Amino acid sequence: MLLLLRSILLALLLIVVTILGLLLCIVRPFHRNNVHFTAKVFSSVAPLLGLKVVHRGRYQSESTPAVYVSNHQNNFDLFTHTGSVPRGTVSMGKKSLKWIPFFGQLYWLTGNILIDRANRSRAVKTLHQAADKIRQSKLSVWIFPEGTRSRGRGLLPFKTGAFHTAIQAGVPIIPVVASDQQSINMNRRNNGMVIVETMEPICTKSYSKDQVRELAEEVYRRMQQRLQELNAEVLSLTETKGATA
């Protein structure tokens, strides 16, 4: 019963949010803060899922662009990660997203970048355009370097596109790590806590284009370690709460 009720409410909310978002984007298409505002609205839905989402860390101002890289777990990212998306930030997603009714049009009109991963030359061109946008418009870009949802398989190996873009644009990499959310059950009243932490920036100025893989591995190492620490923290808090209940 809870699953059905949540599914209906979630569907209605997403329709309303998408319509309102489209109206906003029609008034000011591709505005630098469209993604931030729509992301905040999506993040406000988390309590409906029985989730407490804790957002930590703010190390970069809007006037100082960066490439944000985050772990990508499942569709619930839409309600957990989004609360940490800063102003002046757009995301990079696969080109096929634009064919999703309403959501795809919203994703495009908010100013996000669509990349054709099936065509290497087009994908490389898109990454170059993203670097130009970072430099010229002072925009930050949010990228999921795993390239796909991990679905409980831990942190997957990183593709190098995000790191090429950061080095080319001369901006820092800022890792964003969300604790495990694979146990979220739509039919369960309380789905516990997810911590989303924006880590300290990693300077890319000392890296050349030949050291992209080295940079990716360093960021991966830091994110992997922090993911394990956040998972342990959530587990500890959950056990403590259960013991005192």
> Half-sphere exposure (CA, 13 Å, Cβ side) for 209?
6
* DSSP state, residue 95: G
* DSSP state, residue 158: P
pLDDT band at 244 (very low <50, low <70, confident <90, very high): low
- 120: which residues sit within 8 A by CB, 6+ positions away? none
Q: What is the pLDDT of residue 213?
A: 96
Predicted model pTM = 0.92
Instruction: Report phi then psi at 178, rounded to 5.
Output: -110, 135
Asked whether 80 and 181 are in contact (CB, 8 A), the reply is yes
- 138: which residues sit within 8 A by CB, 6+ positions away? 63, 64, 65, 88
Task: Kindly tell me the burial class for residue 68, based on how many C-beta atoms sit within 10 Å of its own C-beta (0-12, 13-18, 19 or more).
Answer: buried
> CATH number, domain at 123?
3.40.1130
Compute CA distances 10 → 3, 19, 21, 57, 104, whole Å: 10, 14, 16, 28, 18
pLDDT (tens digit per residue) in 139-176? 999 999 998 889 888 899 999 999 999 999 999 999 99
Number of domains in the chain: 1
Q: What is the pLDDT of residue 101?
A: 79
pLDDT (tens digit per residue) in 54-87? 999 976 666 789 999 999 999 899 999 999 999 9
Q: What is the pLDDT of residue 237?
A: 83
Boundaries of domain holding 198 = 2-244
